[in-house]
Amino acid sequence: MRRFALICVLGAVVMSQQAQVPGSHRHEYHRKPAKWCPSDTLYDSLPPMWSALNAHLRVRVPSHWRLDISIIYNRIDSLNYHRCRLYRAAGPMDERQAALPLRLTVSRTSGGTDSVLHTSVIQRGLDPSSDDYSLKLLANRHGMSVVVGQRKELWRQDLSATLPATGDMIWLCDSEAALVRRSLAVEAAEPASYSRFASLSELDAYIRSSSDVNEGFWIYFDRETDLRMFSVGGDYRLATVRAADGHGYEILYLGGARSNAPSWSPMQIKGYLRPTGFIGHFDLEWIDPSGVMHKRETSADITDGASLTLFFPMYKSKVRYRRTAGITGL
């Protein structure tokens, strides 16, 4: 597999550059489809942390020609990777009376040995009058799915396969085709940050000695949420402490996550309370279970030192926590 980006267009050569990451949104669309030479490799990189991914490859191939396109991810080297492949054999010229069936496989190559994780044959809904074929890989921290389409979506399947990790994402064509679209949209996530406290007991000692009503331990109390727009990632146990830079307070995660729990560990920063000039009222910066920072119109109130309320008006929701005395109450 050649590791360079090459698109042949009517005898000219156009270099396809690597996407700028982290958090980039790459979109490449060819109004005049570009000839994609067999075995030529295009590649992009994923950011160090991300929460959502949409990789879309669309080619144009005459209905009786061989089709073979792939999206390769989790590539460590040429002997270790995952591959999502859409293909079909060449067929006779049939005046477009029927479309040839498509085959899709998701496989893992480990140490040069292939193992098939999923396979499907797609026949229903194929349009013999269309020469366009799409392969799309969708993923977030909750799972992954693959979509196959022509003028419209034909087939979708959720996959119990390893999610794309950081590193290269490779786009491969093993048969001659015209490249119509190649796009990669990635939503970057916040890298994990941790408290300055070395242990929970050190944090407990600090808060016990503090006279600041905004510092304390908090446990889940209740919520008012629109379930169509918002879900609580767990019965969080939290602490608030003055930020190291003195600008507001850090919200520390101590436990209770249900959604994406493996990504969270005690003393990890869950968000920030930024001062507004009003006593007990803060601008809220909140990191969701997938690692995405939310701060558009979000806010928080600490009322009488007894309750911490987080407001998410864009999602018509709020969540309330009550103060607890020390780590024994967590």
Signed CA dihedral, 244, 248, 249, 251: sign only: negative
Indicate yes or no: pTM above 0.75. Answer: no
Mean pLDDT of 44-57: 82
At residue 156, the 3 state secondary structure works out as strand
In DSSP terms, which residues pair with 253 in a beta bridge?
Answer: 238, 268
Q: Write out the H or E segment, with its range, that includes residue 207.
A: helix 200-208
Q: What is the pLDDT of residues 265-318, one digit of tens each?
A: 999 999 999 999 999 999 999 998 878 888 989 999 999 999 999 999 999 999
- Taking the C-alpha atoms of residue 79 and residue 122, their distance in angstroms, rounded to an integer, is 29
Provide the token pair at 216: 């304390």
Which residues of the chain form CATH 2.40.128? 200-329
Q: Pick the range with the lowest mean pLDDT from 24-28, 248-252, 311-315.
A: 24-28
| Neighbouring C-alpha atoms within 13 Å toward the C-beta of 234 | 18
pLDDT tier, 190 (very low <50, low <70, confident <90, very high otherwise): confident
The DSSP 8-state label assigned to residue 328 in this structure reads G
Cβ burial of 226 (10 Å; 0-12, 13-18, 19+) is exposed
Decide yes or no: CATH 2.60.120.200 for domain 7-188: yes
Q: What is the pLDDT of residues 104-137, one digit of tens each?
A: 999 999 999 999 999 999 999 998 889 999 999 9
Whether the per-residue pLDDT at 320 is higher than 80: the answer is yes
Q: What is the pLDDT of residues 80-110, one digit of tens each?
A: 999 999 999 988 765 556 788 999 999 999 9
| Neighbouring C-alpha atoms within 13 Å toward the C-beta of 325 | 0
Whether the per-residue pLDDT at 11 is higher than 50: the answer is no
Which residues of the chain form CATH 2.60.120.200? 7-188
Per-residue pLDDT at 28: 63
- Taking the C-alpha atoms of residue 209 and residue 102, their distance in angstroms, rounded to an integer, is 68
Identify the CA nearest to 106 among candidates 54, 67, 164, 149: 164
Class of domain 200-329: mainly beta
pLDDT tier, 7 (very low <50, low <70, confident <90, very high otherwise): very low
